[in-house]
Structure 1
């Protein structure tokens, strides 16, 4: 059947008309979903639970960079720290002040606190919040080992006070209280912090924090003022990588100190017992990891030198009869080196060697060298009991007359022997004085006595 051109045009028009109606209807249905999707934002969540060290500084830097790449609404840092390294704190604060998006610091959960370096991080946030039952403060820098004089202590305190005052003024917070936290180690609760204009709000949980932060206006590094839209934001956790977790663990000066001692012990044990292999491998690994950790810590290499010198003194005590003088010098050197291992002008109070770890290490080191290596060296000095050299000093019986050569019975075996010091009659008891190839040189026990 032929179709007229007019009929074909009418059918095309009808098909196009109905297709457009279905497209309009589909767009009307999907429009609210698309609008809701566009309104949902992402807040990247970081967790700082423990001391502030180079690993945590790297973690925060990576988190801010990833949030910028994802076009996140903000970065949320859950903070619970007793303090940490000043250099790492400066890196974190610098990243927060220069961040192109809002950074929210939330001292949580209940019972958490932001002490020492944590105060600097909290005050540097665009929006600072605390959970009920938390506290903030006590940011006075202290010594991490050796004592410092009053002039050096004043320099350290003044530098930290100027640093925290700059942060507080930048974020329009109570810089007077911030300076008191450094100079007088004052601390406050979450309600007092809100009243003193140190933080911006108190929130029970993450959802409550995001709801209360919604609509807040913050000023970014470039001077732009933006409004937070976090009421319906999706919280996306960003955990530490395995490398950052390992670095955070070994950044503890107590762990680095123990690894240093274990490394030296392992290598020394391998040198005194060649062929063990495993102690040497473990020692080298421990030393490399220890030096890697110390590269991230404010290490005083005079302390490292004293620790190595103490090991040398312990070894000399075993080889030289000094009546304990070298051992006493080794103990004193190890104590002084341990106290000086961490520089006293680069941290807030938690980053230091524990006295319990130092004392335990000193006692264990003394026992190790006096008992273990001492026994090993004494065993090496014992006369051989097997092989040809083990024949020296052994006694036997002359089977023939030795004038000077003959045969003897030693260890139940017949040996060719040569008499020294005079002829030996058959049946006499002889003693081996040396071995020349397979010939024994003997002497009569009766004549020698």
Structure 2
């Protein structure tokens, strides 16, 4: 027994020593749009890898773009990292578009899998400004301007509006930023500028030929083999990569990051906003129902949280709220569709204006579905009003006119009649006999005016 225990201890120690000899590096997945939740996840994992003194980090990229603020946070984390961050656009068919291009150019080693792309890094205004500046500077020539105001003063016309001036500043700032990242890593800064100015894109092989990325690797094994022995400069100095005995550990977002990513998805946030407005409106129409109000309040607060994290145009959000209020007002004010049509128009335009950032736009299918639903609700409200307008009044004195009644006794001018099971005082211009069928012609106070029921008149 002692021999067996000793052998087990030796085997365990040997396995532990073997595992210790193999270094473990994390592979951080940057999938989907670049947003606040994604940025927090990537930054936390890079910092954790630095704290564990990992040999390097692989940042696997597949993104259509996202928010400039979140992208800059990730870039700052990469630049401040003491260990190399390897950017790898993978798997095949993936892309590092828009914000992903900046992140890839910021990494210490930029790699791409075959059949992947990068580029199209032009910033997009929420207001829908043109994606290309009016000065249309050369895409291939160097752009040494670092100050947006200086660039504008050299090329802009005197009558340019504030929106165009702001647009030029935004593009020039993005050009200066992406050039600085490319130059820091010794990559093609001129092409990087063209990715911003003219939304240029490249495939993996062409990107390698133009010195936009460092290498093309078909698989993770090929990537590690190509990295072995490469020396890179980090925030703490030069590091030589040794990848011969490296074991890669994939890291995916935790449940919190996934939940926040779903909540901050523009389409989900838009639906939460609509549910919140409709829920509060339903609670106002039916006070005490509780459930619509509770669901609406929670949805609206969650939508506000998402909007705070997203590049939302407040004008679009205000138009959506106005549209819902106008459609609801149609149920109280019989405008026969005027308010409702205005509400649908405000809802549609507000939805289209809500956001216009690549990777952060609301699904057009959802917008059209919501608009059609609003039109259907409006048509139902108008139909109900029209129906009520042509429906006979059933209550009050107006509801008694035309009703049938029966004489309780013989009388010539005044007497009593049975009406709705009640005895009413009646007046008539012609004599009536007991149990004769009569019809009410008008009502004065508590007196009904009746006449004999025509034999051709059908009973009600």
**TM-score in terms of structure 1 length:** 0.78
My pick for the range that moved more, 166-175 or 126-135, is 166-175
SS for the counterpart of 1:445 is strand
Which among 235, 257, 266 is matched to residue 279 of structure 2? 266
RMSD of aligned C-alpha atoms? 3.8
Pairing 1:294–2:307 present? yes
For 2:385 and 2:292, locate their aligned partners in 1 and report how far apart those are by CA, in whole Å.
15
C-alpha change, 1:46 and 1:399, in structure 2 (3 Å) is farther
Q: Which residue of 2 aligns with 1:156?
A: 170
1:253, distance to aligned residue in structure 2 (A): 2.1
Which among 338, 344, 358 is matched to residue 367 of structure 2? 358
Deviations 1:352-379 (A, max 9, x none): 3454443443332222233258649977
Indicate conservation of the 8 Å contact 1:405/1:416, yes or no: no
Indicate conservation of the 8 Å contact 1:119/1:139, yes or no: yes
Deviations 1:132-166 (A, max 9, x none): 12122121122445346432322221111111112
My pick for the range that moved more, 231-240 or 265-274, is 265-274
1:8-407 equivalent positions in 2, closer than 5 A: 36-144=18-126, 146-147=128-129, 149-222=163-236, 224-274=237-287, 276-322=289-335, 324-342=337-355, 347=357, 349-371=358-380, 375=384, 395-399=404-408
For 1:432 and 1:287, locate their aligned partners in 2 and report how far apart those are by CA, in whole Å.
54
1:425-444 equivalent positions in 2, closer than 5 A: 426-429=434-437, 443-444=448-449
Indicate conservation of the 8 Å contact 1:424/1:443, yes or no: no
C-alpha change, 1:312 and 1:418, in structure 2 (3 Å) is same
C-alpha change, 1:209 and 1:390, in structure 2 (3 Å) is farther
> How many pairs were matched up?
412
1:396, distance to aligned residue in structure 2 (A): 4.0
Unaligned runs of at least 5 residues, structure 1: 1-22, 435-439
SS for the counterpart of 1:314 is helix
1:118, distance to aligned residue in structure 2 (A): 0.8
C-alpha change, 1:115 and 1:396, in structure 2 (3 Å) is same
Q: Which residue of 2 aligns with 1:7?
A: none
Which among 400, 405, 408 is matched to residue 418 of structure 2? 408
For 2:334 and 2:419, locate their aligned partners in 1 and report how far apart those are by CA, in whole Å.
41
Indicate conservation of the 8 Å contact 1:433/1:441, yes or no: no
For 2:197 and 2:256, locate their aligned partners in 1 and report how far apart those are by CA, in whole Å.
36
For 2:168 and 2:307, locate their aligned partners in 1 and report how far apart those are by CA, in whole Å.
26
1:131, distance to aligned residue in structure 2 (A): 0.8
Deviations 1:266-312 (A, max 9, x none): 32233334455444343333322221211111122222222222223
For 1:291 and 1:339, locate their aligned partners in 2 and report how far apart those are by CA, in whole Å.
18
1:385, distance to aligned residue in structure 2 (A): 7.3
Which among 425, 428, 434 is matched to residue 419 of structure 1? 425
Q: Which residue of 2 aligns with 1:14?
A: none
SS for the counterpart of 1:236 is strand
Q: Which residue of 2 aligns with 1:10?
A: none
Indicate conservation of the 8 Å contact 2:432/2:452, yes or no: no
Indicate conservation of the 8 Å contact 2:33/2:66, yes or no: yes
1:26, distance to aligned residue in structure 2 (A): 12
SS for the counterpart of 1:73 is coil
For 1:325 and 1:341, locate their aligned partners in 2 and report how far apart those are by CA, in whole Å.
24
For 1:400 and 1:98, locate their aligned partners in 2 and report how far apart those are by CA, in whole Å.
104
For 2:336 and 2:202, locate their aligned partners in 1 and report how far apart those are by CA, in whole Å.
57
1:428, distance to aligned residue in structure 2 (A): 4.0
SS for the counterpart of 1:181 is helix
**TM-score in terms of structure 2 length:** 0.76
Indicate conservation of the 8 Å contact 1:107/1:114, yes or no: yes
> Which is higher, the Rg of structure 1 or of structure 2?
1
